[in-house]
Amino acid sequence: MLTHSESKEYSCSFCDKKFSRLFSKKCYETTHTNDKPYSCDLCNKTFGVKNTLKNHMKSHSKDKPFKCDVCGNGFVALHVLRVHMRKHTGEKPYSCHQCTKTFTQQSSLTDHLKTHSGVKPFKCDQCFKAFAHENTLKSHLRTHTGEKPYKCDFCNKEFAHRAGMIHHKRIHTGEKPYKCDQCDKEFAQSGQLIYHMRQHTGERPYKCTVCSKGFRDSSTMKVHTRSHIKHQN
C-alpha cells in the first residue's frame, strides 16, 4: 500500500504521467510548453518554476558552507551537495520512462525528455539548425561567433564551453573525482569511469547492425562494422 508521500496524485496537464509532488509536475510540464517566465538577473538563465529560480540564485552566493568530503568543493545548500555527491557515487535516481537513460537530477531528466518530443523551438539565425533547448542553441552559436568565454586559471587557455574548461583544468590539478567502487581506480572524466565500469559489469551497449556483436564503446563497434562492408565489397 502506498503512503501519502509515495502516492502519485498530481497528473500532467498534457499527458498521462503522474507525480507525487506538485513541484515535480510543474517542472515536467515545461517539457511540453517550453515556458520559462522566470529569469535570473545576474546571468539571464531562465526557468519554468519560480522555486527553481530561487535555488539557482544561491549559486551566485560566495558563501558555500557545505563541503564535499571527496573533492573539497563548496556548495550553498545541502541538497545541492547531495546532488553533487552523485557524481562520485555514480547514483542516478531519475530515469526516463521512454528509454533506459538515467540522470543525477530532475532538471537533467526534464531537459532530456524534450529530445523525445521532437519539438525544437530554438532556431539558429545563421544556419537554421534547430534545438530542443535554449542553452544548446547558445552553445551552438559560438561555432559561428568564435566566442570562448571560459578561461583556464592556470594557462589562460580559452574554451567555448564551461565543461571543456573544467575538464582541461584537471590536467593542471591532477583531480580525479570519479572513483570506481569495484577496484578504487580514479578518473578525471565521468565518461572514463562509465567505460571502465563495463570491464566489471561486462556490459556491451553498442551492437553491430550486421551481426549484433556487442562492444564497450562506439568507436570499436564502428571499426568492426566497416569490416563487414569490406568483405561485402
Judge whether 77 and 99 are in contact, CB under 8 Å: no
Tell me: pLDDT of 75 over 90. no
pLDDT at 127: 92
Percentage above 70 pLDDT, the chain: 94
Tell me: pLDDT of 45 over 60. yes
d(CA 21, CA 9) in angstroms, rounded, equals 8
Taking only the tens place, the pLDDT of each residue in 1-33 is 344 445 677 888 877 778 787 877 777 777 676
Q: Angle CA(143)–CA(146)–CA(148) in degrees, nearest 5?
A: 105
Which pTM does this prediction carry?
A: 0.47
Domains and CATH numbers, the chain: 203-233 (3.30.160.60)
pLDDT at 172: 94
pLDDT at 90: 82
Taking only the tens place, the pLDDT of each residue in 180-200 is 988 989 998 888 888 899 999
- Better-scored residue on pLDDT, 109 or 51: 109
pLDDT at 4: 44
pLDDT category, 49, cuts 50, 70, 90? confident
Q: Angle CA(30)–CA(90)–CA(96) in degrees, nearest 5?
A: 30
